[in-house]
Structure formats: C-alpha cells, structure tokens
C-alpha cells in the first residue's frame, strides 16, 4: 500500500485547491516525465493521490526524447516500461534538433512547444520542479541582478503559454505541485516505494550552473545554515506575495492606460515615478510579447522616447524588431501587420481589428457587406489625395501603417477600413 508523506500530501492538497479555484472544470493532468528521480516520484505519488481522493481529473504522462544523449532511447524505454507496469496512459514525443549554438535553450523551446501541441485544450501540464529547484532559480537570478519579479522564482500554476511565445493555446496551464517539497522527501519516497529511475550523466558536470550549485554551493551553505534551500525557497514565496500585492495596485493604472497588443500611450506615464513607469512597460512587454527589456531599452525610454522633440520619432530594436515612438504612442513592433484574409461576419471583423491592428478603429456594422476580403493597402490602389493625408495626420497614424492600411474588398466595392 502506498502512503504519502505529510509533506507530499500537503503539497498536493494546496496545489489542487489552487487549480480548482483557477479553472472552471477539472482539467486533464499530463505529467512531463523525463525518467529521472523527481518526475518518477511525481508520476507515482500523484497517480495514487488522484485515485485515493477520487479526483475527476484524467491522468496521463508524456516523455520527450530530444535525441541529444546516447542514453535517450534507454530513458524513453524506461518510462514506457513503467507506464505499462503502472497502467498509465503514456505517450512519447520525439524531437529532431540540429547541432549549433544555444542548444539547451532551443531544446527547451522545442520541448514546451511539442508538449503544448500534445496537451488537450484546458489541460494542465505538470513538471517535477521542487524546493531545491526553486532555491536555485532564485540564486541564479540574484547573481544576474534580477528584480522582484525574477527573484520571486517559479510559480506553482501559470498559463502554459507564458513560458514560450510559440505556444498558441491560451487555455492550457503549467503546474508545479512539488515546489514546497524537499529533495530529501522525494528521495525518501523513492526509496520506500522501491522506485527505479534513470540518471543523466550531465547531472555530474559542474559546467552547468545548477550542477555547480548542488555539488559545490549547497554543501558549503549547509555547514553554516541549517535549512538553506528551504529558507531561500521561502523567500521566493514571500516575494511572490509581495509581487501579487504590487500587481493589485498596478492594475489600477493598467485598467485606465490606453494600450493594446501593438502600441501604448506614453504621455500617460510621464506624471509617474520612473519605477512605476518601468513596471507598467515591463508588464506590457511580458503580457503581449513575452519579452524582458534590457538596460539599453530602459535607457532609450528615459533618454530618447520620453525626452525627444515632438517632431522626432526615435527607434530602437527589441528582439530584432523595431520599437518606435510616433506622436503620442510607442509601437512594438513598429511594422504593419501583413494580411489577406476572408471575413464572414461583423464579429470576426471587430475581433481582427481589436487583436491585430495597432490603433483603434471605428468600424460600424451597417457599412459592410459580408462576406468580404480584408487585405493590406497596395501601391496600385487608387486611394490618395489631400483629404486622406489630412485624415491620417489628424489621427496621428504612423507612416508605416498608412502604407499598409486595411482595405475591404466586397460586393459593395473597395475602400479603406474605418476611414470616413
């Protein structure tokens, strides 16, 4: 008979309480199973917890074979063998990665993309990050000079889409139910239940930051402090609470700020302190583009975007794409969307305008005949004249948007969207 320790049982209770408060219906649970000790314990323990508590969540596992280690097929077979033995629905995903720079980062992006595609809608992908992983995350970010958001570490539940910008489904979740569980508790559980697991040879290579921490740093800290990992992980938890409080206050600014996914109003920020400005801009980039700005970007805001003469339109690259100030708004990316799509009804047209066009447009339903075709303005289109130029100027439309303005093609004729 399997008995969960109080530490594991409490961690699962807290996680499912949070999950049930966040989701409308009990989501399917999909455990990312590497075959190592941590994920093997998570699979075994959670399977028994779900069954013992008669939880309605579907439960399955998935293994990603990156093909980067000579032992990759052995790890895959170990997971498949145990899944069959424990009667757990299981799937293996095989990736093909080219050699080259940033292989570890590329492997992570590819892994999460593959996992997201495998997940069903509203599913919750579970990983086995535990207390020591949380403490190592905080320390790594501390040494990189991170602020409160970085130092708050990993959250126990967040949208899966937030970990990578190539995940399309907004309804999937990423859960980490073991963040409060110590490494020792996982080892004890594995021993008591006679579990078998695989060991990655890279876990002994101190070239990697986390391996260095485990082999060099933690033993030193343990000589002076009784529970260093637990204390540091607790700090991350307290910082998460502080960050949540700051976010509540920030929401007051966010709700009245004129912004969308492609641009925001910058004069609104000028009466605020720099930290307040910075936090809103950082949230905008994180929310809409999953990006963190670097020092040169913040200097650009202070020295150019907020200080340049009105007739100037300063620009800087962010992740290889231009960010530019034009009149009262800052655009990112400062390029016009490229599109040529069929629109079947007014609701679809309004949804496209709200989600894909950088500035607000007044789109009246009775002006359009559906279905219609929506495309970029082209050089051969006969839209010109002083009145059109004045219309663009009076509304502060950036030059790159004027040239690619949405054009409606329908039985009623061909005309510029929202222009009157």
> CA 142 → CA 65, 136, 229, distances in Å?
32, 10, 14
Question: Locate tokens 């637990």: which residue?
Answer: 230
Q: Which two tokens stand for residue 272?
A: 């605020």
The conformation of residue 120, written as its DSSP 8-state character, comes to P
**Contacts (Cβ under 8 Å, ≥6 apart) of 237:** 153, 180
35 known member of a binding site: yes
36 known member of a binding site: yes
Q: How far apart are CA 89 and CA 111, in angstroms?
A: 19
Q: Which of 59, 45, 88, 314 is nearest to 178 (CA)?
A: 45
Q: Which two tokens stand for residue 196?
A: 């078998």
Q: Do residues 316 and 296 make contact, with C-beta atoms less than 8 angstroms apart? A: yes
Q: Do residues 339 and 375 make contact, with C-beta atoms less than 8 angstroms apart? A: yes
34 known member of a binding site: yes
The Cβ of residue 399 has, within 10 Å, a number of other Cβ atoms equal to 11
Q: How far apart are CA 4 and CA 10, in angstroms?
A: 9
Q: How far apart are CA 195 and CA 86, in angstroms?
A: 12
With b meaning 16 or more CB within 10 Å and e meaning fewer, what string describes 342-370? ebeeeebbeebbeeebbbeeebeeeebee
366 known member of a binding site: no
The conformation of residue 259, written as its DSSP 8-state character, comes to B
> CA 16 → CA 12, 35, 233, 351, distances in Å?
6, 24, 20, 34
Residue ranges for the known binding site for ATP are 34-39
* Residues in binding site: 34-39
């Amino acid at each position: 008979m399997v008995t969960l320790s109080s530490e594991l049982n409490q961690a699962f209770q807290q996680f499912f309480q949070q999950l049930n408060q966040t989701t409308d219906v009990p989501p399917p649970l999909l455990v990312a199973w590497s075959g190592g000790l941590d994920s093997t314990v998570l699979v075994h323990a959670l399977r028994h917890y779900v069954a013992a508590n008669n939880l309605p969540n579907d439960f399955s596992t998935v293994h990603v074979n990156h093909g980067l280690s000579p032992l990759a097929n052995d790890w895959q077979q170990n997971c498949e063998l145990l899944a069959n033995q424990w009667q757990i629905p299981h799937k293996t995903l095989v990736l093909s990665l080219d050699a080259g720079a940033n292989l570890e980062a590329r492997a992570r992006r590819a892994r999460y993309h593959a996992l997201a595609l495998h997940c069903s809608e509203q599913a919750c992908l579970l990983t086995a990050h535990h207390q020591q992983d949380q403490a190592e995350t905080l320390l790594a970010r501390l040494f990189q000079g991170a602020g409160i958001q970085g130092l708050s570490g990993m959250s126990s539940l967040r949208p899966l889409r937030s970990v990578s910008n190539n995940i399309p489904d907004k309804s999937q979740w990423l859960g980490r139910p073991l963040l409060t569980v110590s490494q020792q508790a996982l080892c004890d559980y594995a021993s008591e239940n006679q579990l078998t697991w695989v060991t990655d040879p890279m876990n002994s290579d101190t070239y990697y930051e986390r391996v260095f921490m485990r082999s060099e740093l933690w033993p030193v800290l343990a000589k002076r402090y009784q529970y260093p990992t637990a204390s540091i992980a607790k700090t991350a938890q307290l910082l998460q609470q502080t960050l949540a409080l700051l976010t509540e206050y920030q929401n007051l600014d966010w709700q009245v700020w004129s912004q969308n996914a492609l641009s925001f109003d910058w004069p609104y920020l000028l009466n605020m302190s720099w930290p307040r400005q910075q936090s809103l801009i950082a949230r905008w980039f994180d929310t809409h583009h999953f990006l963190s700005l670097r020092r040169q970007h913040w200097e650009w805001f202070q020295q150019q975007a907020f200080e340049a003469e009105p007739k100037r339109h300063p620009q800087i690259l962010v992740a290889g794409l231009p960010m530019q100030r034009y009149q009262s708004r800052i655009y990112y990316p400062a390029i016009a969307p490229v599109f040529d799509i069929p629109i079947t009804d007014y609701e679809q047209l309004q949804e496209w305008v709200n989600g894909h066009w950088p500035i607000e447009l007044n789109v009246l339903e009775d002006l359009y005949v559906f279905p219609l075709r929506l495309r970029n303005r082209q050089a051969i289109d006969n839209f010109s004249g002083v009145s059109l130029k004045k219309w663009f100027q009076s509304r502060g439309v950036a030059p790159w948007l004027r040239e690619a303005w949405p054009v409606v093609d329908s039985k009623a004729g061909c005309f510029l969207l929202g222009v009157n």
